[in-house]
Structure 1
């Protein structure tokens, strides 16, 4: 997202700008809208995106945030939990953003200037942003109050919760209205690069409809809801603006990739010039984020904060298309893998060989090459928690790190931020969404076709699936692997009603030992927390509790299990 320098030369001094001035000056109106983009959370350093979300799923353990996340992962979330801003704070943040969007929608009609087509586009962007926050709210809380206007001191603040279906319909209606006035991807170039497009709005509509169609909210498996998901996916595909990326690891560093639909960019890339105007309007664009510091291995000075769990690593198939490890037996401190006899090219002595390439692209593990060296997670290695190693306290607790989205060319110097984009939406997600919808509509051949489009593309090249056996589980599995560590898993497992089983499993870690004489490596698998059953996911956790402060000051009905 860029801005033209010469337009800002005529701005009044900040202390001379009135509210009326803002809504009569197109430059100031654009700056107001740009500030609304800043309210979008992202997964690099804010809660509601992906970084910490992985730590409350079966994907990973977040060792630097465990003191906060354990309240959730151990089943203790309440409407008044202490130190739980990550959870209770989202409600306030979302409604603050919605209020700012409502201000725009109320004030913009007073604009008397020219360039009305630009005003229509900016209005459509605001409708998208308001719909985005409502989509995030309903995916956490179910039905919520629909606040469509600003309040004054004389307003009635006791707005009841709308039903979930009413919220979904409002979101869809808003997005359909926005789509009409948004540009296509190939039109959002130059100064509009990074702004919201038709594809992004359709993608958000698909996500809202997907929640509406899934078992969490679709108790009767109403197929008309799946039909709406299918139609929205086809609406996206028919734009002919996107294609699957053949560079799986590279797409997370390149917002211009053909498969990227919506992203948040950070200043320092792509040769665009941004002007620092009016306080914080370009905060995230002139600055950066800290994903490389959070995820780099300690051998390169990073924190390797998120540690993928062994049982999640096991989900990456062999190159022959088989899950290699089906479970574990034995004592908590020395577990024995149950090897899948169909995974004939799996070698327990070299467990990362002959695996789905997305394992190498997504996970840091012992022996993989990173920044032109082989990582050393073995005891005493450069990336271990051995006390003789520099930054040992930041060594992985589970024997793994997350590689996805890392920029290996970046140097972790003090005070230097990272600038890769946060990818909100990409085409592969919606291919798999379409496959899931086709399954529920009994169109199994089409479901298989779209899963295989994802699996067969360049840089992945995994063997095709077929419709035999449990096709729905195959679709879920592909989604789990393709979208790993991007913030989707928490939403998916909940909407499928799988979280009670999947998120309550004990964490398994690996210890790698290296023979000093031969260099041979051995692997010990064990329960990280001793197999004590600390992980739990009560039924109430499918929805978050409305913050107690909101319950006490209004007539809102609390979600089940939190009274």
Structure 2
């Protein structure tokens, strides 16, 4: 029986924000006549990429990347007094039993589209095109499963497209983590072995490549073997992938991809764009920001564009992470007019002071990275802005809106496509104007993973040399510090402290730090059972949405630690 292929292809970005897919009725296409060429295959694969933006559209605070930011020891939840989801996630608690339902749905939507693509891509006659598109589908499916299992651990496994309606209606079985990782590893192994060796700049920006698959394989290996204390990754055929295989593939990425470190750390972040005036200490002397498609360090990224608006179907076009993590209420009334060039946002993810203090103590000469990653507003900061919670006076400056003053206009956020700052209408709306990429895999991370896997300092010292730091001998402690500082606020710290089994110690250090809640000075206090107790109870996994458990008629079992005692009702002063 031929499988009808229904593609809901939003005008979301694969190559660039200007190259949208033409609207076409695809409901008459089936596995006998679609896909057959590169255009068909691209349409099918773009539908998978689109689900990444759908997850953003449904709510950044429901995604794994966001949780990895605020649950780590380097950020708090923050936001306004009403942003209880943020504060709850920071304290490993919940404010609503089905908060993550949209994220769950978007990721399985992507998995189902990947399954359909993999079932039909053999129709494409050109072997090189077929292998590239197959590899992209395998990479995306493994990326989605990796996020899901890091967040929820034991999840349903759907690895094939349904043959008929009856098969589609059958509830999938919740599988143990080992089975999920076996599928992730098998997908990535196949992807790295079939994908062509296009250089990074020979494919459209945002496209998954062989190099991205090799890097993700290393990330998966490090988390699985570290967190579960295993010596290899399982495969679905019963064999295993050992460290040597992962190192070989990572070395292939480093040697043959064409990826490299950008010459200046600061040019990786939009505050060095060509329009913003270079008037802050961490901008002076920095080269211009490396825009979409120009960055040799960007191994894989989620794409955004300037075609967004404050309506639900278009929110996913803009980088909503930049909105969530921007500084709240930058009006003159609140004394934050001096935060230029960091743009306005919703005040979530304020930086924990212990990161800044540890950084100055452990790497005192690392000024370029420290001040190029964290923006201090303490000198001109008036505590008491619009019910801001868990304030520290420190904000990250990597994934935030960037402001620009052009003539007599102050634009609260910029559009990355052409360094254009809007016309005072839709592009001047700080809530939808940020269109910079969200980099998910960076070459610096590849080099640091190489050092960790091989137990050598070569990759780590290349990263250090870029910011003028001296070479060091390899040790795991040195590697841990390097990852914390180089990759701060890039969604990796949470996974790192979990796989190193450092989470309890790291989270405990947040307690007692000075914060401001609604303008009142206080200290960070444990909420509910407390950081350490909550981590012990949950092992860092979050609750499976109650709506999904209900739909499964109880087949899905809730994760430990997520009973009524985990409910966050309000901040306990």
Normalised by the length of structure 2, the TM-score is 0.70
Equivalent residue, structure 2, for 1:314 = 357
SS in 2 for 1:497: coil
CA distance in 1, matches of 2:17, 2:513: 53
Q: Does the C-alpha gap of structure 1 residues 250 and 525 become closer, same or farther in structure 2, counting only changes over 3 Å?
A: farther
CA distance in 2, matches of 1:510, 1:554: 41
Equivalent residue, structure 2, for 1:262 = 300
Q: Does the C-alpha gap of structure 1 residues 83 and 559 become closer, same or farther in structure 2, counting only changes over 3 Å?
A: closer
Equivalent residue, structure 2, for 1:400 = 394
CA distance in 2, matches of 1:530, 1:102: 43
CA distance in 1, matches of 2:459, 2:29: 50
Q: Does the C-alpha gap of structure 1 residues 558 and 22 become closer, same or farther in structure 2, counting only changes over 3 Å?
A: same
CA distance in 1, matches of 2:250, 2:484: 19
Q: Does the C-alpha gap of structure 1 residues 398 and 49 become closer, same or farther in structure 2, counting only changes over 3 Å?
A: same
- Is 1:248 the counterpart of 2:286? The answer is no
Equivalent residue, structure 1, for 2:514 = 509
Residue 245 (structure 1) shift:
2.2
Q: Does the C-alpha gap of structure 1 residues 176 and 384 become closer, same or farther in structure 2, counting only changes over 3 Å?
A: same
Q: Does the C-alpha gap of structure 1 residues 51 and 164 become closer, same or farther in structure 2, counting only changes over 3 Å?
A: closer
- Provide the alpha-carbon RMSD of the alignment: 3.9
Stretch of structure 1 that moved more, 176-185 or 306-315: 176-185
Residue 230 (structure 1) shift:
2.8
Q: Does the C-alpha gap of structure 1 residues 162 and 2 become closer, same or farther in structure 2, counting only changes over 3 Å?
A: same
CA distance in 2, matches of 1:174, 1:476: 28
Structure 2: tracts of 5 or more residues without a match: 1-13, 234-239, 271-289, 331-335, 338-342, 405-410, 413-427, 564-573
- Is 1:426 the counterpart of 2:442? The answer is yes
Q: Per-residue displacement from partner, 1:311-344 (whole Å, max 9, x unpaired)?
A: 11112135xxx367xxxxxxxxxxxxxxxxxxxx
- Is 1:527 the counterpart of 2:523? The answer is yes
Q: Does the C-alpha gap of structure 1 residues 507 and 461 become closer, same or farther in structure 2, counting only changes over 3 Å?
A: farther
CA distance in 1, matches of 2:196, 2:316: 23
Q: Does the C-alpha gap of structure 1 residues 257 and 554 become closer, same or farther in structure 2, counting only changes over 3 Å?
A: same
- Is 1:465 the counterpart of 2:475? The answer is no
Aligned length: 468
Residue 400 (structure 1) shift:
1.2
Equivalent residue, structure 2, for 1:331 = none
Residue 422 (structure 1) shift:
0.8
Q: Does the C-alpha gap of structure 1 residues 559 and 305 become closer, same or farther in structure 2, counting only changes over 3 Å?
A: closer
- Is 1:359 the counterpart of 2:350? The answer is no
Q: Per-residue displacement from partner, 1:72-98 (whole Å, max 9, x unpaired)?
A: 444545xxx625514x54333322221
Q: Per-residue displacement from partner, 1:293-324 (whole Å, max 9, x unpaired)?
A: 74146225723433111111112135xxx367
Equivalent residues of 1:385, 1:392 under 8 A apart: no
- Is 1:59 the counterpart of 2:98? The answer is no
SS in 1 for 2:359: coil
1:103 pairs with one of 101, 104, 116 = 116
Q: Per-residue displacement from partner, 1:500-523 (whole Å, max 9, x unpaired)?
A: 221233152368xxxxxxxxxxxx
Equivalent residues of 1:384, 1:396 under 8 A apart: no
Residue 526 (structure 1) shift:
6.0
CA distance in 2, matches of 1:188, 1:284: 25
CA distance in 1, matches of 2:526, 2:178: 43
Residue 237 (structure 1) shift:
1.8
SS in 1 for 2:350: strand
Map 1:184-263 → 2, pairs under 5 A? 184-186=197-199, 188-189=201-202, 192-214=204-226, 216-218=227-229, 225-253=242-270, 254=290, 255=292, 256-263=294-301
Q: Does the C-alpha gap of structure 1 residues 549 and 525 become closer, same or farther in structure 2, counting only changes over 3 Å?
A: closer
Residue 145 (structure 1) shift:
3.4
CA distance in 2, matches of 1:453, 1:559: 41
Q: Per-residue displacement from partner, 1:149-172 (whole Å, max 9, x unpaired)?
A: 233442383544444333323222
SS in 1 for 2:269: helix
CA distance in 1, matches of 2:401, 2:90: 30
CA distance in 1, matches of 2:515, 2:88: 25
CA distance in 2, matches of 1:478, 1:124: 31
Residue 291 (structure 1) shift:
1.1
CA distance in 1, matches of 2:20, 2:429: 35
CA distance in 2, matches of 1:558, 1:396: 30
Q: Does the C-alpha gap of structure 1 residues 525 and 483 become closer, same or farther in structure 2, counting only changes over 3 Å?
A: farther
Map 1:437-448 → 2, pairs under 5 A? 437-439=453-455, 446=456, 448=457
Equivalent residues of 2:195, 2:210 under 8 A apart: yes
Map 1:148-163 → 2, pairs under 5 A? 148-151=159-162, 152-155=164-167, 157-163=170-176
Structure 1: tracts of 5 or more residues without a match: 269-273, 325-353, 367-376, 440-445, 512-523
2:500 pairs with one of 496, 514, 528 = 496
Equivalent residues of 1:252, 1:423 under 8 A apart: no
Q: Does the C-alpha gap of structure 1 residues 227 and 545 become closer, same or farther in structure 2, counting only changes over 3 Å?
A: farther
CA distance in 1, matches of 2:319, 2:522: 38
Residue 221 (structure 1) shift:
9.4
Stretch of structure 1 that moved more, 400-409 or 356-365: 400-409
Q: Per-residue displacement from partner, 1:33-58 (whole Å, max 9, x unpaired)?
A: 21211222688962435445322111
Q: Per-residue displacement from partner, 1:115-134 (whole Å, max 9, x unpaired)?
A: 55433322221111111111
Equivalent residue, structure 2, for 1:295 = 326
Structure whose CA Rg is larger: 1
CA distance in 2, matches of 1:6, 1:262: 19
Q: Does the C-alpha gap of structure 1 residues 64 and 83 become closer, same or farther in structure 2, counting only changes over 3 Å?
A: farther
- Is 1:169 the counterpart of 2:214? The answer is no
Map 1:303-342 → 2, pairs under 5 A? 303=345, 304-317=347-360, 322=362
